[in-house]
Amino acid sequence: MNTKVYRSYDEINRDLEIMKVEKDLAYARFKKDLEETKESLQPMNLMGETPRKVLGVLGAFSGPLKSAALTWLFKKMF
């Protein structure tokens, strides 16, 4: 690694400011990627589209009708 030779404090301060901005940007990207990863690992995101649609339709039912529909669905699946 080459050592940079500075001729003034202004050059040092400019480089320090650039490095701080780069560090802040890298940290912001890391936080964004972490949140996207957390979101992608949520149970509803792991299920896929078809089960999510089925659950959405089943959400419209209530009481015994919902129970019967779930029982029928699970018997078909397993």
From first to last of its 78 residues, what are the pLDDT tens digits of the chain? 689 999 999 999 999 999 999 999 999 999 999 998 888 877 766 666 666 676 676 667 667 777 777 787 778 776
**Whether residues 78 and 62 fall in one domain:** yes
**Whether residues 54 and 19 fall in one domain:** no
> Looking at residue 63, what is its pLDDT?
76
Is 30 in contact with 24 (CB distance < 8 Å)? Answer: no
**Whether residues 35 and 53 fall in one domain:** no
Each residue of 21-43: b (16+ CB within 10 Å) or e?
eeeeeeeeeeeeeeeeeeeeeee
**Whether residues 24 and 55 fall in one domain:** no
Q: Which residues have a Cβ under 8 Å from the Cβ of 69 and sit 6 or more positions away?
A: 58, 61
Helix (H, G, I), strand (E, B) or coil at 72: helix
**Whether residues 55 and 36 fall in one domain:** no
Determine the structural domain holding residue 58 and report its residue range.
48-78
**Whether residues 52 and 16 fall in one domain:** no
Lookup: tokens for 20: 């701080």
Tell me which DSSP letter residue 7 carries: S
